[in-house]
Amino acid sequence: MFEQADLKVHGKGMMALARMSTRGYPRVGLVVSKKNVKLAVDRNRFKRLVRESVRLRQDHLPSVDIVILAKRGVQDVDNETLTRQLHGMWKRLQRDAQAVSAPPPPHGVTRDA
C-alpha cells in the first residue's frame, strides 16, 4: 500500500494513503505506533475517532482502501480539531479520487479549470 498508493492526503498529525478499489465501499486501516503515540489511551482515542469519522462519512467516501498513519504529536490535538481535520481529509480524498477516476479528455480538447 505504501508504494502503490493512488492518493495521499495530509492532515495535522496524520496522513492518509488510499488506493482505488472495486468493492463499492471504503475500507480503512490504521497505523498508530508506540514510537509516535506513547500512551495506549491516546492510541485508542485516535483509532476510535478515525473509525467514527469513517462511519459517519462512509456514504460520501469513494470506493477506496485507506490507510491512516498517525504522526508524532497527534495525541496533543483535541477531539474537535481532529474530527475537523478528518472531515477535511475525507473531502480532499473524495475530490482527488474523482479526478483520478475521471476519463481523460479527448485528444486536442482541454478541460476548463
Per residue in 35-86, pLDDT tens? Answer: 999 999 999 999 999 999 999 999 999 999 999 999 999 999 999 999 999 9
**Whole-number average pLDDT of the chain:** 89
Residue 2 resides in a domain? no
Give the span between the Cα atoms of 10 and 85, in whole angstroms.
9
**Burial class of 7 by CB neighbour count within 10 A (0 to 12, 13 to 18, 19+):** buried
Residue 18 resides in a domain? yes
Grid cell in block for residue 79: 477531539
Give the model's pLDDT for residue 44. Answer: 97
pTM > 0.85: yes or no: no
pLDDT-derived band at 108 (thresholds 50, 70, 90) equals low
Residue 108 resides in a domain? no
Residue 33 resides in a domain? yes
- Looking at the DSSP bridge assignments, the partners of residue 32 are none
Give the model's pLDDT for residue 56. Answer: 94
2 with 65: CB under 8 angstroms?
no
Task: Specify the DSSP element, H or E, that contains 44.
Answer: helix 40-57
